[in-house]
A and B are shown apart, each in its own frame.
Chain A
Amino acid sequence: MLTPRFIPLILKQVYRHRTRSILTFAGVAVAMFLFSAVQAMQSGVERATRQNAEDTTLVVYRKDRYCPFASRIPQSYEAKIERIPGVAAVVPIKIVVSNCRTSLDVVTFRGVPKDAFLEAFAPGFRLLSGSLIDWERRGDAALLGDTLAKRRGLKVGDRFQAAGITVYVAGVMHSDEAQHENVAYVHLDFLQFAAGSRSGGIVTQFNVKVTDPARLEEVAAAIDAEFAADQEPTQTSPEKAFVARAAADVVEIVGFMRWLGLGCLLAVLALIANAIVLSVQDRIREHAVLQTLGYRGHLIARLIVGEGLVLSLGGAMLGSLLALGLMSYGRFALSVDGLSIAVHPQVSQFVQALVAAGLLGILAGLAPAWQAARREIVTCFRAV
């Protein structure tokens, strides 16, 4: 370890070669910006798809169907599902999306019955503007997620059209879950008829709450068995598993980006190593002078490693803060098949970036530090 009294010396060394240090900071900042962005995306995927023991929601979808338009389940299934043991509540939902494809700007309408919405969804939302009474009263009213409203520049009182459906913005709400932030909630019967295609009495899916999370799979199997021989057989899965399956393309892309994240870390290692090597080469004589003055080889080595640490931490702080700030402000989400996978920036990712950069900074400085420590004083003076 290095005693704090040497920190000013390290900082002076960094400051002496301002151009080199700035270029190294900037390079590390860019690499850690990408790394943090990838981490935020992966965190979003994990949050949306990883089941935990408290999950109590099942999604009942039409079997062998992918796009919300293709999943057409009779609303009459609701009564049968309610009677299955273990089911606490059933909410029929109709989903209409502007496009089934994956992109950043998809509009998703979710039609739910008024009562079910007020009971099951509204408690989890914070109304930012407008009123729920207004939403209840008007047939064509929509309650927009905050992210969707900002992206489309919409406010209460506006009318907007997407996917061939025109709605009135009755309110804007905020939810901690990305699924709700990126959608417009409308009345089920309105959406069934606005969507056309003889959708009366037809829904896209049922969200089912179970009484006991431990019985999630059992209830799912019971629901599928109930409708196995029906006109529209179902496929029921826990909500997170449903998201993972439906958003498989997005999950795959984000998984692939893990390699990009690793590449960024390697780039950081190369940048710091390059900077340290150049710095050590410039200061061979200076190190010899320090050794003459009584600085031991291992202390010089620690000074060099410390320099690498400062460069890496400085760049990582800048890059990671920028990335997480941008992700938080932009509230990006990849939408596919009516689902949203939000990019999820967290403080822990900032800490992760610092730790990773710090370790890499130390690692990058080890080889040149070891070399510098082992050089003989005379050899150093002769080398210049």
Chain B
Amino acid sequence: MKLLPFDYAVRNLGRSPMRLAASVAGSALVVGLVLAAGGFVRGMEKSLTVQGGHDNVIILGAGSEESIERSQISGGVATLVTGAVPGIRSRLGVPYVSPEVHMAAVLKPDRDSTAEWTAVLRGVTPTAFLVHPQVRIIEGRPPTPGQYEMMVGRLAAVRLGAAADQLALGRTLWFDNRAWTITGRFEAPNTVMDAEIWTPLNDLQIATKRDTTVSCVIVTLDDADVGDVAAFCAQRLDLELAAIGEAEYYASLLRFYRPVRAMVWVTAVLIAVGGLFGGLNTMYAAFAARVRELGALQTLGFSRLSIVISFLQESLLATACGGLLAATLALLLLDGLAVRISMGAFALTLDDAVLTMGLAAGAGLAVVGVLPPLYRCLRLPIVEALRTA
């Protein structure tokens, strides 16, 4: 089969600069939308997927497995589980057991301000840094118990909807009629902790009048497994406990957000489909003007298949330009962009999978956009095509 030369497709692109510009812009828009939607979903997935080892188990109140914030258990559970469950990881005699309070709270920039920020607070002890190795202090120091101090996550400002300088070291935030000083900043990339604010456990318990209760106890296992912790919970019916793997808990949160992710995809697909219809219209008109050319090519001995391949090359070149433009802009503007959602924040993630999907969408657009009008033009007999005005 004799194929049309590749530069034939390239030269045809330049025949109508306006049409080329419209094709590139249209495909850039569609690919950009797919990348934005994919980056949103991927960022959300990454923040709710446990990275690294899956050795953490969350002990929380029975019935609160869907939402730690609703859980309330005795603070003594931390000591009980350390003694009752062998095989918990430890270092230099310190067990990896972290009692924590998780709560959504309303903070203010100052006492008299009418602005209100909803934040996710986590009351922790120093063992939290053992149990959550992803957390790294990037500025300042951890808060000191009894001093009403806080440490803010890297995305906490995005979560609060506040300017970054309002959460700078030394600034204060007002919670429960008291000023809390920011002493440090931490990061925990691709985790929900990145958007949280950490305080000493006792300080938060006192501020929220929780006595000695906590939301959960998180343990890191060594030789033990989830079943051992679950057996402990089952034995202590009086404490009304449940055990769930940390990975499983965040997987259930990811499932909880499925409708939101579906909504994002449906919106992106609808916009892409709308763009496709407009592109098809243009393609039909463009190809209608080249029916005679197609007839001439067939007269010269080029098969219909070789013409199809040449036009596909043309279309793919145009959409590839648009796709690459969109991918470049998306990487520059969208990758890492923090997005606020309820009870958290995450960064858009444009990784290999998302970029491949976006470019594949552009290629798909090229194929779908060219085949129907091309088929319509090529089905005419050669003589009829040559007669077309």
The residues of A with any CB-CB pair to B shorter than 8 Å are 19-20, 23-24, 26-27, 30-31, 33-34, 63-67, 69-70, 96-105, 163-165, 196-197, 231-233, 245, 248-250, 252, 260, 263-264, 267, 270-271, 274-275, 278, 281-282, 336, 384
Chain A residues within an 8 Å CB radius of B175 = 64
Contact of B281 among A65, A96, A263, A275 (CB under 8 A): A275
Which of A34, A99, A102 makes the CB contact (< 8 A) with B267? A34
Residues in chain B within 8 A of chain A (CB atoms): 61-67, 69-70, 72, 103-107, 116, 118, 161, 175-177, 208-209, 213, 240, 253, 256-257, 259-260, 263, 267, 270-271, 273-275, 277-278, 280-282, 284-285, 340-344, 376, 389
Pairwise interchain contact B274-A163, C-beta atoms closer than 8 A = no
**A96–B275 CA distance with the chains assembled, in angstroms:** 44
A70 near B340 with CB under 8 A, answer no
Inter-subunit contact B104/A100 (CB<8 Å): yes
Point out the residue from A26, A102, A163, A248 that lies within 8 Å of B70, measured CB to CB: A163
Asked whether A164 and B176 contact (CB < 8 A) given A65-B105, A103-B260, the answer is no
Q: How far is the CB of A329 from chain B (nearest CB, A)?
A: 16
Instruction: Report B-chain residues with C-beta under 8 Å of the C-beta of A103.
Output: 256-257, 259-260
Q: Is the CB of A69 within 8 A of B267?
A: no
- Assembled-state Cα–Cα distance A67/B259 (Å): 21
Find out whether the CB atom of A197 lies under 8 angstroms from the CB atom of B61. yes
- The answer to whether A274 touches B66 (Cβ under 8 A) is no
A186 to B260, CA, bound (A): 28
Nearest-CB distance from B324 to chain A (Å)?
23
In the bound assembly, the distance between CA atoms of A264 and B278 in angstroms comes to 13
Q: Is the CB of A245 within 8 A of B278?
A: no
The reply to whether B64 and A164 form a contact with Cβ atoms under 8 Å apart is: yes
Distance A231 CA – B206 CA, assembled complex (angstroms): 12
B70/A278 in contact, CB under 8 A: no
**Cα–Cα, bound, A336→B89 (Å):** 37
B residues less than 8 Å from A163 (CB atoms): 63-64, 66-67, 70
CA distance A250 to B107 in the complex (A): 19
A336 to B260, CA, bound (A): 13
Residues of B within 8 A of A248 (CB): 118
Additional 12 contacts, C-beta under 8 A, given A103-B256, A164-B65, A275-B281: A19-B376, A30-B277, A34-B267, A64-B107, A64-B176, A66-B118, A67-B70, A70-B69, A96-B70, A164-B63, A164-B64, A245-B116
B69 & A271 in contact (Cβ 8 Å cutoff): no
A66 touches B104 (CB 8 A): yes
A23→B281 contact, CB < 8 A:
yes
Q: Are A249 and B61 in contact (CB under 8 A)?
A: no
Give the chain B neighbours of A27 by CB distance below 8 A.
274-275, 277-278, 281
Q: Which residue of B lies closest to A197 (CB)?
A: B72
With A196-B72, A196-B240, A245-B116 as given contacts, are A23 and B280 in contact (CB-CB < 8 Å)?
yes
Q: Which residues of B contact A20 (CB under 8 A)?
A: 281, 284-285
Given contacts A100-B104, A103-B259, A196-B72, is CB(A24)–CB(B281) below 8 Å?
Answer: yes
Q: Contact between A67 and B69 (Cβ–Cβ < 8 Å)?
A: yes
Q: How far is the CA of A33 from the CA of B270 in the complex (A)?
A: 9
9 examples of A-B residue contacts, CB within 8 angstroms: A19-B376, A27-B274, A64-B177, A164-B65, A164-B70, A231-B209, A267-B278, A271-B278, A274-B281
Cβ-neighbour of B105 out of A70, A97, A164, A274 (below 8 A): A70
Nearest 6 A-B pairs (CB), nearest first?
Answer: A164-B63, A27-B277, A102-B342, A104-B259, A66-B104, A30-B274
CA distance A237 to B271 in the complex (A): 40
Could you say which of B104, B274, B282 contacts A31, with CB atoms under 8 Å apart? Answer: B274
Chain A residue at minimal CB-CB distance from B260: A103
Across the interface, B341 reaches (CB within 8 A) one of A30, A33, A102, A281, namely A102
B263 surroundings in chain A (CB, below 8 A): 104
Residues of B within 8 A of A281 (CB): 285
Given that A102-B260, A196-B240 are contacting pairs, would A69 and B70 also be in contact in the complex, using a CB cutoff of 8 Å?
A: yes
- Docked-complex contact A271 and B274, CB < 8 angstroms: yes
Question: Would A101 and B281 be within 8 Å (CB), given that A70-B105, A70-B208, A260-B267 are in contact?
Answer: no
Known: A33-B270, A34-B267, A267-B274. A23 touches B284 (CB 8 A): yes
Q: Is B278 in contact with A270, judged by CB distance below 8 angstroms?
A: yes
Residues of B within 8 A of A105 (CB): 256, 259
Q: Which residue of the partner chain, among B177, B256, B260, B271, contacts A34 with CB atoms under 8 Å?
A: B271
Closest-by-CB residue of A relative to B288 is A282
Alpha-carbon distance between A100 and B213 when the two chains are bound, in angstroms: 20
For residue A384, which residue of chain B has the nearest CB? B389
Q: Could you say which residues of chain A place their CB within 8 Å of the CB of B106?
A: 63-66
Residues of B within 8 A of A24 (CB): 277, 281
Complex CA gap A163/B340 in Å reads 25
Taking a contact as CB atoms under 8 Å apart, the answer to whether A278 and B282 are in contact is: yes
User: Nearest chain-B residue to A104 (Cβ)?
Assistant: B259
- B284 and A19 within 8 A (CB): yes
Expressed in whole angstroms, the minimum distance between the Cβ of B322 and any Cβ of chain A is 15
In Å, the complex CA distance between A243 and B204 comes to 26
Q: How far is the CB of B214 from chain A (nearest CB, A)?
A: 12
A100 to B61, CA, bound (A): 16
Minimum CB–CB distance for B67 against chain A, Å: 5
| B209: chain A residues within 8 A (beta carbon) | 231-232
B285 touches which of A196, A197, A260, A278 (Cβ 8 Å): A278
- Are the C-beta atoms of A196 and B61 separated by less than 8 Å? yes
- A99 shortest CB reach to chain B, Å: 5
User: Which residues from chain B contact A245 at a C-beta distance below 8 Å?
Assistant: 116
Most buried by B among A20, A70, A275, A281: A70
Chain B residues with CB below 8 A from A65, complex form = 104-106
State the CA gap A104–B259 with chains docked (Å).
Answer: 6
Chain B CB within 10 A, most for which of A24, A27, A264: A27
Contact, CB under 8 Å: B103 / A67: yes
Residues of A close to B343: CB separation below 8 A: 100-101
Are B67 and A64 in contact, CB atoms less than 8 angstroms apart? no
Minimal beta-carbon separation of A368 from chain B (angstroms): 13
Closest chain B residue, CB of each to CB of A72: B209
Give bound CA distance, A249 to B67, whole Å. 18
